[in-house]
Chains A and B, each alone.
Chain A
Amino acid sequence: MEATAKSHFTGKEEHAPAKPSFAFWRPTAKTGLMSWLTTVDHKKIGFLYGSFALFFFLVGGCEALLIRLQLIVPNNTLLTAPQYNTMFTMHGTTMIFLAVMPLGAAFFNFIMPLQIGARDVAFPRLNAFSLWTFVAGAIILNVGWFLPDGAPDAGWFGYAPLTSKLYNPTHATDFWILGLQLLGVASIAAALNFIVTIINLRAPGMTMMRLPVFTWMTLITSFLIILSFPAITIALVEVMFDRQFGTNFFEVSNGGMPILWQHLFWIFGHPEVYILILPAMGIVSEILPTFARKPLFGYPIVVFSGASIGFLGFTVWSHHMFTTGMGTVATAAFSLATMTIAVPTGVKIFNWIGTLWGGHLKMRTPMMFALGFIWMFMIGGFSGVMHSAAPADAQQQDSYFVVAHFHYVLIGGSIFALLGGIHYWFPLMFGRRVSEFWGKLSFWVIFIGFNVTFFPMHFLGLNGMPRRTFTYDGNMGWNVGNMIATIGALILGTGIAIYFAVIIYTYLKGEKAGRDTWDARTLEWSVPTNPPPEYNFAVIPTVHARDAFWYEKHHQSEIEQEKAAQHQAEAAHGGIHMPFQSIYPLVASIGALIGAFGAIYHNLIVALIGGSLLFIGIYLWSLEGAEGYHLHPDEDGHDDAPAPKH
């Protein structure tokens, strides 16, 4: 339990600092490794999430390239069958859980508190715990590469009974199970934190219907996470018990039903894909109005359709199981339910176009990515609708048509928007901006490479090429399509390489960006400096309208007076309170990591050590309290403010 917020609403005063005995050692380093390991600052945590995510994006991308190289010609022998199977399993798992989700979390962390005018999330140390538990999960998931048992190879949805001890005797599958389990804990903890933050820490005047759309999507995504992850947690517990203790959940000889796993997995799995796309939609809904210099068209409807996508997402899971013989009634029901999702999604597309209509479109790099997103997501959505017609899906399921569908929504959708988001908020995060020329170049190479890679896959799928096949014969009519796809993947890889080169160059040497680089509309751009100071806002803003910052810019004198008054009030009350850093979230996560290893290797002692470390970490973390210190910047974040200068 996070104690930070305790005094937040009760106004409770702590007694003069007693102790401190060694258990309550508070790290104070502001630079260096320790400052990162013990940070509770949402921006630093967001940055770390983002760095890990981009690293794993490259890892997953390299795995994808190996997949494509194996498939370049029929009967290729670059990879063996087990190697290939490991490759697509790890590619899917890595991209979804270690790249796109944490990249979303990075933006939630960095941007969302700024957008609602808060100085941090509601439970900063819980936030750190989420981060480090995510890292622990990523380690477990990938550790197999370096061990004799190898990395997981049962596919990213690990259908039972292929994951049972009988068919997968090594620890590879245990890494997968425990890794996902830890990632689930991390995601749920983070999501709870975001929910409380958005509901409770909004600046004065920031009503729910004034929240920036990205924040709305953060909220909905967080709800999807807390409501869908429990299903996979249970499912994973069940396979884990089957494997470790010989229970019968999926053990056919004792009456187990493997189909149950599919239901439990997709009850999680389908909301999961909306967990991947809603943040992207949020980002696009920020970029388009900024560069069209117009408010989002139909804000309430966009928000509402986001919520309905989230809700409907829980009612369609069996569309991944149209071929499992569910009977006509269930198939029809899930078919229709799936189709209805096209409506709220369409509404979003229409409103984005409405936003462009009549605007002054500034064609900057983020805008290119956002427009690319709309186009590509539309195509991906349409192939989704084709899947939703169950009879058609009977031919498409587990073929490359599905691979085409989900890469269009995942790359053309999520990744495009996230890459655009990085460009968009780069000036805010690092005070530098990406060169337009190189940014656009990378966009076009990625855009072309992406389409060359994945468009032919529609044809491959309709021509009967099954997915997850390490090889194919030369007489099936798939040679050319695969060759093109592989060449496309190399182009795409080049594009991504350019993108990363540009980002890194900009980070080190890029052109300095002033405040409010894009003439934006939302509060994150109103912070006193780029990058934002650790306290975010010298003065907590008062919100008068949707697109709060735009309003501020157009009502300057009024806002200035308000700020001055607000600042005085805050100063009179002792300045800005900042919570101390803390080591215990990290300790707890390390405990979880060790405990997971103990569980994998059936080592009670290691498991107990891990468990106790986890317990002690959490206990001391709740005992130490948030505490903190005070800062006294002036209204613009100058003077006595230790604002980081760039």
Chain B
Amino acid sequence: MSDALLTVENVTKVYSRGGLFGGGTFRAVDDVSFTLRADRAEIFTIVGESGSGKTTLSRMILNLVTPTEGAILFRGSDITHLQSRSARMRFMAAVQPIFQNPFEAFNPLSRVDRYLLTTARRFCGATTRAEAERMADNALRKVGLSFIEISRRFPHELSGGQLQRVAIARALIPGPSLIVADEPVSMVDASLRMAIVNLFRTLRDELGVSIIYITHDLATAYYISDRIIVMQKGKVVESGDARAVLENPKHPYSILLKSSVLSLDAVLEGELSE
């Protein structure tokens, strides 16, 4: 199995929720396992409501949170054992995050190009500013922007959609093989949402980048994902091919989720279904 891109083996995360004298414990993620193939890029979606543990799981995959039990292997080696800085840098060059709120992901007091240029310098060894700008521009073009457009701008001077695209471009600079996107479009306007969702598709097809896509929106999940896992209160209740699972879910919770999705057929055909 060592050729798998990412292996999540029985990962559990327990938070203690008591004061000084201890208190109840809370299992945010409970015995989750799945693997991502290395040979073919795919979009692997984690679906669940708030409190289902999907964000904690994504934080563990990004090595921002250490699991209480189980292991996460990236290309065969356990990421929790990355001690040396160079090992961590190599990991980060291959696995990059996209966060939910672009306005929070960028420091409001510094210009956006600082993150692009630093990523270029630190991961791709760009020595001169021109070289770093060229790399940044190259990545920005992949998301439909250009360096001149966003250079020396503060985050609040760009729209949510533009800023999220800059975030994606920044993640693309080191040429990662895995992007972990936590609800990347929930804060973006509807008209721009499709542009970014389609972008993930092109990243998979043209750049061969695998994507872990975290969302509570089943409809977008259906549109974009290859494989899917449904999480409830930290546990995986159902998993498999995205279209198959969403078209006829087996687990009662997945069925409940699907029936709660607001469909348009009510207004297109009959009266409002209760």
A and B: interacting chains = no
Q: A residues touching B (Cβ–Cβ < 8 Å)? A: none
